[in-house]
Amino acid sequence: WAGFLAAGTVSLGLAAVAWAGYSRLRDFYDVYTLLCVERKASATILDMVCDSVVLIAEDGDTVSKSSQPFDFLIRQGMQGKKISSCFETERGAQELRDAL
């Protein structure tokens, strides 16, 4: 009986560890789902309020993501390109960097 009880105890312990891992993964999934919903809601609000949306990288010059209306306005796809390339003078690019 001792071996049976030891095996049963180990099995129950491993089941508890597995359940804890599952619960933690489920919590991560729930948070991920909520963040996706909030991201979509934020994008919808920005689309209603703004004519176009542009995400600028940390360097303040590279376009990380641009909306289609912005690309049409600039007349080229801007994702991954420098926004300073849209200005004819360095002064215009510097004013944009100062504003950001």
Sequence-distant (6+) residues with CB within 8 A of 35 are none
Same domain, 43 and 68: no
Tens of pLDDT along 35-91? 999 999 988 888 888 888 888 898 888 999 988 888 898 888 999 999 888 888 888
Average pLDDT, integer, range 23-27: 94
Q: Which two tokens stand for residue 3?
A: 């071996």
Among the candidates 34, 49, 64, a domain finishes at 49
Which residue segment(s) compose the domain that 98 sits in? 52-100
Q: 27, 19, 24, 51: which is closest to 35 by C-alpha? A: 27
Mean pLDDT of the 13-37 span = 94
Instruction: State the burial class of residue 96 (Cβ atoms within 10 Å of its Cβ: 0-12, 13-18, 19+).
Output: middle
- Give the predicted TM-score (pTM) of the model: 0.53
- Same domain? For 65 and 36 the reply is no
**DSSP 8-state symbol, 84:** G
Number of domains in the chain: 2
Specify the pLDDT at position 54.
87
